[in-house]
Amino acid sequence: MKKEIDIWNILHDGEITAVEKGKNGLYTIFVNIPYLRRRISPLGDSFVLTLSGVKQITFQDFGGTMSMLEDELEISTPEILQTESEAMPIYIATTAGTLILHYENIDLKLDTGQPVTFETIETVCRDYWGELRKRTKNNQR
């Protein structure tokens, strides 16, 4: 269950740009995060997360109004900030409110259709932030 939750912190700063409800409790969510995605071939700017066994996918704005994520995307593009959740349901802080998710599994793909592992995205993220810290440290000298 760890990757099903940790992926939301790895995709910090990513914008949720599209969501589609499929059959049999599947949901597909596009997360646009070019600074990570362009580090994986072929070139692209988003990751595609397919959630299965979905029991809940709702959005709560800062005023407390609950809606479907699809409805929220009609008026905003929430940017992922973080989650402190350790079990389902998970509460993901975004720039527009809180995304509340409860699902069994997650499948990860590139926006070009190729599968990608959680470990690959995690490594790319770690490398990116490590390089940024190094550049920042070198610029302060």
Task: Say whether pLDDT at 1 is over 60.
Answer: no
Does residue 138 have a pLDDT over 90? no
> pLDDT, tens digit, for every residue of 64-106?
999 999 999 999 999 999 999 999 999 999 999 999 999 999 9
The pLDDT of residue 7 is above 70: yes
The angle formed by the CA atoms of residues 81, 84 and 87, to the nearest 5 degrees, is 125
pLDDT at residue number 141: 65
> Which string of DSSP letters, residue by residue, matches 49-89?
EEEES-SEEEEEETT--EEEHHHHTTT--PBEEEE---SSS
Q: Specify the pLDDT at position 136.
A: 82
130 within 8 A of 122, measured Cβ to Cβ: no
pLDDT tens per residue, range 14-56 = 999 999 999 988 999 999 999 999 999 999 999 999 999 999 9
Kindly state the tokens that stand for 70: 């699809």
